[in-house]
Amino acid sequence: MVKFAERSGRWSRASKIALGIIILYLLITVLVYSGVIAQQWDHASKDTWATPNYDHWLGTNRIGQDILDRALYGVMTAMTIGFGVAVISVFFGSLVGAVAAYYRDSITDKMAQFVMNLIDAFPFYLLVILLVNFLDGISYSSILAMVICFWTTSARVIRNEIIRLNETEFIKIARLLRLSAFRRIVLHMLPNLRYLLLVQFVIVFVVAIKTEVVLSFLGLGTTSGVSWGVMVAESVTDIGAGHPYNLIVATAALFMLVLAFNILLHKNWVRLR
């Protein structure tokens, strides 16, 4: 049975481990970004397809690049893209949802819902791939494509919740006090939506990371560095030669991060509310 925080007053062991993994990934991101570690991720050597050894703890790929360095650099790629897509998607989606709720049943609301339905009608990965190709040549095209696909869920959630809150007693009192719609939403509604915004952020963050891996595997993802998707794509050749380390390391890194977020969110859902 799940031990929620409010029952025991403490974080469960699983939550602590999950939080520790996330903090570790954040620390790796900072160290890579500051140039302390994994700066030789693209350095090729003569030691090709090496098994784990003292010089290369997780082995090398087919052109002698260190798999550990590439995996650590992939952490920064995943965290950066996930954070960027989540922040922009949740912010834009919340803004659209709040405006749609304020102008409920108006042409503005109907247009917003039409656009959301239109976007959601497309198969998810197919739409992302089409947008990435359409935006080819634009900086951060994969991030922009994911934002276009991801904001709709946040917009729907915030719209429905604001409509619900608009009928509560404290909002009716705020209207009687002649508070503006902006103040009612910002000062009274959004604080009650913080848990939904946080949940939406985590969900989009995780989905964005997994989507980037798929795009990179297809050759449509990051071009300025290396990601776990690139490593998985490389492993197609490596596995044929009997060297599965690229695949194992990349998938394990992705699995641990996604699992940590899922555990942290699931174990502490009630605490967020």
**CATH number of the domain enclosing 65:** 1.10.3720.10
In a domain, 129, yes or no: yes
How far apart CA 24 and CA 18 sit, in angstroms, is: 10
At residue 7, the pLDDT reads 45
Of 1-15, 124-138, 242-256, which range is least confident? 1-15
Q: Which domain holds residue 17?
A: 11-35+59-272
Would you place residue 252 in the very low, low, confident or very high pLDDT band (cuts 50, 70, 90)? very high
In a domain, 51, yes or no: no
Of 224 and 256, which is predicted with more confidence?
256
For the chain, the domain total comes to: 1
Rounded to two decimals, what is the model's pTM? 0.87
In a domain, 225, yes or no: yes
At residue 2, the pLDDT reads 41
How far apart CA 21 and CA 221 sit, in angstroms, is: 25
In a domain, 139, yes or no: yes
In a domain, 53, yes or no: no
Would you place residue 269 in the very low, low, confident or very high pLDDT band (cuts 50, 70, 90)? low
Sequence-distant (6+) residues with CB within 8 A of 82 are 205, 206, 208, 209, 212
pLDDT tens digits for 23-67? 999 999 999 999 999 999 999 988 899 999 989 999 999 999 999
The dihedral through the CA atoms of 192, 198, 201, 207 has a sign that is negative
In a domain, 2, yes or no: no
The dihedral through the CA atoms of 162, 154, 20, 8 has a sign that is positive
At residue 273, the pLDDT reads 52
In a domain, 254, yes or no: yes
In a domain, 31, yes or no: yes
